[in-house]
Amino acid sequence: MSQQAYPHHMLREIHEQPEAIRQTLKREGANIAELAGVFRERRPRMVILAARGTSDNAGTYLRYIVGAVNGMTVASAAPSLLTAYHSNMNIEDAVVIGISQSGKATDVIEVLETSRRLGATTVALTNTADSPIVNAVEFPLLTHAKTEKAVAATKTYTTALAVLYQLAACWDEREDLQEDLLQVPEVMEKLLSDVEPLIAARAERYTFMQICTVLARGLNYGTAMEVGLKLQECCLFNPEAWSAADYMHGPIAALQPGDPVILLAPRDPSLKSMLEVGQEVKQRQGELIVFSDDDEALELARVPIKLPDMQGAYWSPIVMAVAGQLFAYYVAVNKGLNPDKAGGLRKVTLTY
């Protein structure tokens, strides 16, 4: 698709993601490796995350990738403890990572500044080199996604996931994982060339969708929340995103026949439980939309979306995110909405 062919900034930015990943890994690789060395030297006992919105969904991925690769506990910061209650928390031997696309998230910056004063190792992940968050921390990392004009974040999310994956891989000195990440842009390009037309065609069925559930487990849980957020921002209704395991502990009781349920079900260690949830949803006559590279999962679907083979890799949430972004984009277009102007939101939201 040529530059002139994009009807919206969001679609152009979705298509810019493979190159954004390449540039991020190329330009930030040395900084990631240096920070990983600092982590090995300082031996932190835990990681604390501060983020909002899409950045918080990237942080959920951090929780799983660092747990899976490094065996580390990641806890979400409660910013109000530092910003409102002024608690002097015992975090000297912790790493505090703040994620903000714009680098202007005021409460995240305050968490980082206070954490640095309290002796923690502080890291910022942002897309903007001259933003306030960079000056608040000891170690800044950049996503190199260039300017993002659509309000709904796309390439800043996937590049953030790529940096967090690479940080975990370098921290554990896993050269196999580091090399494996290099194939992600090619897989994304295959999705954009081969699968996007299918997503665009299938999205029309959901023009009048007003409810939806998005399910995943493990590494893809953050991306399930991100897909739900994209549907909220672009399509102006309130889907619910759940861990598939949590969904079975109550929320499934509210499922009505015909209700759309999106399953993010790659062929990875979470697949068995995703199949079980999918079978239960189907038995209750929910309408399954399945994004997967696994034939058994796709067979459950009313609307199957077959993705390129992701080989059970820890980077599958990056590719899943692109598929979910496209689905949200095309549903919005079919609803007659402008996905670039998501519900009157601004690109930078300041919270205190």
Cβ atoms of 212 and 238 closer than 8 Å: no
Query: End-to-end CA distance of the chain, in Å?
Result: 41
Assess contact for 153 and 146: CB atoms under 8 A. no
Helix runs in the chain, H state only: 9-15, 17-42, 53-70, 79-83, 106-117, 132-135, 155-171, 175-181, 184-190, 196-203, 221-235, 244-247, 271-283, 295-299, 316-334
Beta bridge partners, 50, equal 98
Sign of the CA dihedral with 106 first, then 10, 214, and 345 last:
positive
Q: Which residues are catalytic?
A: 347
Q: For tokens 């994620």, name the residue.
A: 99
d(C-alpha 191, C-alpha 196), whole Å = 6
Whether 233 contacts 345, CB under 8 Å: yes
Q: Please state, in angstroms and rounded to a whole number, the distance separating the CA atoms of residues 341 and 331.
A: 14
For residue 259, the SS3 value is coil
Phi, psi (degrees; rounded to nearest 5) at 7: -75, -15
